[in-house]
Structure formats: C-alpha cells, structure tokens
C-alpha cells in the first residue's frame, strides 16, 4: 500500500519540476494526491514526501531509529570523499567546542569587519544590486574565513567558483553527460576536494611547526586536526574535508537565503526598516570610530532579531530535509519501504 503519486520520467523522475519550484511542487501534489503524503522520484531516488507539522515531528522524533540523513548522489559522488561519506552527518553532531556559544561570540568582530568590507566594495558604489548572488558570495567568503581561516580573496575565489558549480547541480538527476548539471557538479567537486586537501596539509604542517596555541585564530580546521575520536584516532584529511564540505553546504543555502529575504522584507515594509535602522544607529553611536561589534552589541539588537525571525517564518531559509529509510514503516495509512528516501517540506506546515 504505497503512497499515491507519480514517479515521472525514467532516471529524471520529477527532479526538474521539484528544483524549479520546490514549494509549488509540494503544494500542487498535496492538492492532487494527499495532504499528508505522496510519492515521487527526485535525484534518481524513489521518495515519499511527508507533509505538515505532524510529518516533521514524526521524522525528527525517529531520527536514527527509522531514518538516517541522506545526501543526493550529486553531492555524495561529486563533492564528498568516498571514505566515510555516509558518516558526515554524525560527525556534524559531535560536540566540538568550536560550535559552543562562547566560541561563536569571538567571531562577531570578524563578521562585522567582513560585512562592512563587502558592503563598501559590492554595494555602496552602485545604484542597483542583485541581492541573492551577492548574499551567496558574502556567505561563502565568511564561511571560508571562520571554518578554514581562509581570507585570501584569490584563494576564496578558487574554492567559490567550483562550489557554485556544485550548487547548481546539487539536486540534479545523476546523469554524467557533458553539459548536464551533474557533470558540472562532478568537475567542481574534484577541484574543491583537491584544493581543500592542499589547505588541510598546509595547516597540518603549520600546526606541527608552531603549535595550535600560537596560530592565533582558532578555526574549525585547526580544531579538527588536533581533535581525536573516542577510540583515540584522529580524523584523516579526507574525513576533515568531508566535514568542512558539510558545513559549507549547510551554511551556504540557509544563510544566503535568509539574508536575501530579510532585505526583501525590509524593502516591502518601510516602517519595519525605519525601526531596524533606528536600533542599528543607536548601537553605532555607542561605538568608538573603527571599533568592531561585540556579542554584547548583538544582544541589544532585539527589534532587529524579531524582524529577522519574522522574515524566516514567512520565508523559511531551509526548504526541508532529506532522509534515508532504515526500516519499513507506516505513515498516514501508507507503507514506506526500507531504502526509500523521505523529504519533509517546511512550507507545508502552514498549508
């Protein structure tokens, strides 16, 4: 008793329809088949799309019991090193001090400095700008700075160009023919892996010569190189590269999308923009010339944060999650077989 729905074309499935407009894709099929669940084929995989708040609660309540995180083949084959590629999400859940609030607070001045430089060079001198491309560029550069302490513009660009090629094919059908998005993702992935390994090996030598304490800035890469697992073993360069790639993917889409929609909503609601500007000006007045923002300043941005949260409620930056089914289960009266993939669409919660 499989869920209702269609699987589309051979190999391609309904990938093109999904990637062109995920929200419309889900809502159309909720109306056509079921408001709770329907089947499809995306990125070459048979998939059940679970809809609504109860579906999201069900999926996240059964993490590791019924589901494992899943990467499309366009990511796992093109971007990740094969060794331990399937374990990347479990690595991401480890409690590294890098992710603790105390550590994250130290990055506020860096974020402030990079944001100012970005606005000065990419925004201030232009009458019109395209927000989303610039938001993606800024987000990737910031991630490179914080995750691998790479601030050299040329080196960031060397990573960004192939990464964007992978991003274009991240949900494409796994058809490795010239001209296809998947082929572009494969080519871009090879370049990223090679350049990340070069950076990892350089940092490894730097730590061996100077010691991590004398490096100054404590980024994710440096911490991974000196952190050991429960069995006392250290991460291999390939495992570290996979982990960094996972962070880059996770931060890239959500952050750049959130920035884009926040600016869009501020333009649509001038009264909100005026209050956000007023709050930011007050904080700026309390700073000395050239002084960077600190965590204490961010905590004063209460109205700004409320505006950001409302923007993310209206336009969720994360469209949904993909999981792999570990064992057969039943949802809304339909059976989902082991090996299928499931997708939960954030925008279906309020539909």
User: Does residue 49 sit in the same domain as residue 191?
Assistant: no
The SS3 of residue 117 is: helix
Task: Examine residue 282 and state whether it is found in any structural domain, yes or no.
Answer: no
pLDDT at residue 74 in the model? 65
* Alpha carbons within 13 A on the beta-carbon side of 273: 9
Q: How far apart are CA 192 and CA 169, in angstroms?
A: 15
Domain boundary among 221, 239, 257: 257
What contacts 24+ positions apart, CB below 8 Å, involve 218-223?
218/98, 218/103, 219/98, 219/145, 219/146, 219/147, 219/148, 219/149, 220/96, 220/98, 220/146, 220/147, 220/148, 220/244, 220/247, 221/147, 221/148, 221/149, 222/149, 223/96, 223/97, 223/98
Based on the number of CB atoms within 10 Å of its own CB, is 268 exposed (0-12), middle (13-18) or buried (19 or more)? exposed
**Residue 90, pLDDT above cutoff 60:** no
Helix H or strand E encompassing 325: strand 320-325
**Residue 317, pLDDT above cutoff 70:** yes
pLDDT at residue 97 in the model? 64
Q: Which domain holds residue 47?
A: 15-66+326-350
User: Does residue 212 sit in the same domain as residue 250?
Assistant: yes
Q: Per residue in 184-243, pLDDT tens? A: 888 888 899 899 999 999 999 988 887 766 666 678 888 888 876 666 778 888 888 888
Q: Which residues pair with 334 in a beta bridge?
A: 331
Task: Examine residue 224 and state whether it is found in any structural domain, yes or no.
Answer: yes
The CATH number covering residue 215 comes to: 1.10.630.10
User: Does residue 122 sit in the same domain as residue 222?
Assistant: yes
Task: Examine residue 182 and state whether it is found in any structural domain, yes or no.
Answer: yes
Q: Per residue in 116-134, pLDDT tens? A: 999 999 999 899 999 999 9
Q: How far apart are the first and last CA of the chain?
A: 25
The count of structural domains within the chain is 2
Based on the number of CB atoms within 10 Å of its own CB, is 289 exposed (0-12), middle (13-18) or buried (19 or more)? exposed
Q: Per residue in 328-346, pLDDT tens? A: 999 999 999 999 999 987 7
Cα 218–chain centre separation: 22
Average pLDDT over residues 95-115: 82
Task: Examine residue 313 and state whether it is found in any structural domain, yes or no.
Answer: no
Residue 68 in contact with residue 339, Cβ under 8 Å?
A: no
Residue among 100, 119, 60, 29 nearest 320 (CA): 60
Q: Per residue in 249-266, pLDDT tens? A: 888 889 999 999 999 999
Q: How far apart are CA 26 and CA 48, in angstroms?
A: 11
């Amino acid at each position: 008793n499989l869920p209702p729905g269609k699987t589309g074309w051979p190999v391609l499935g309904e990938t093109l329809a999904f990637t062109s407009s995920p929200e419309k894709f889900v809502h159309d099929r909720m109306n056509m088949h079921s408001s709770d669940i329907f089947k499809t084929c995306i990125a070459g995989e048979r998939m059940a799309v679970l809809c609504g708040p109860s579906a999201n609660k069900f999926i996240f309540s059964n993490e590791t019991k019924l589901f494992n995180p899943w990467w499309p083949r366009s990511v796992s084959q093109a971007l990740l090193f094969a060794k331990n590629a399937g374990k990347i999400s479990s690595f991401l859940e480890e409690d590294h001090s890098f992710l603790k609030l105390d550590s994250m607070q130290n990055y506020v001045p860096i974020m402030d400095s990079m944001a100012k430089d970005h606005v000065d060079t990419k925004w201030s001198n232009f009458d019109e700008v395209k927000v989303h491309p610039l938001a993606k560029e800024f987000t990737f550069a910031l991630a490179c700075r914080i995750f691998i302490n790479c601030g050299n513009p040329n080196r960031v660009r060397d990573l960004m160009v192939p990464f964007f090629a992978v991003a274009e094919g991240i949900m494409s059908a796994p058809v490795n023919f010239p001209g296809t998005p998947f082929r572009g993702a494969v080519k871009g992935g090879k370049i990223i892996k090679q350049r990340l390994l070069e950076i990892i090996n350089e940092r490894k030598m730097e730590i061996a010569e100077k010691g991590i304490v004398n490096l100054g800035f404590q980024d994710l890469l440096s911490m991974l190189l000196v952190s050991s697992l429960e069995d006392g073993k250290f991460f291999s360069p390939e495992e570290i590269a996979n982990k960094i790639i996972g962070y880059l993917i996770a931060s890239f889409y959500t952050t750049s999308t959130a920035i884009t929609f926040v600016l869009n909503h501020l333009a649509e609601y001038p009264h909100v923009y005026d209050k956000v500007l007023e709050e930011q000006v007050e904080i700026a007045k309390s700073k000395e010339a050239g002084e960077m923002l600190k965590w204490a300043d961010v905590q004063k941005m209460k109205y700004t944060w409320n505006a950001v949260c409302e923007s993310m409620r209206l336009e969720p930056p994360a469209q949904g999650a993909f999981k792999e089914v570990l064992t057969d289960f039943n949802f809304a009266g339909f059976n989902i077989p082991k090996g299928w993939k499931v997708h939960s669409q954030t925008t279906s919660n309020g539909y």
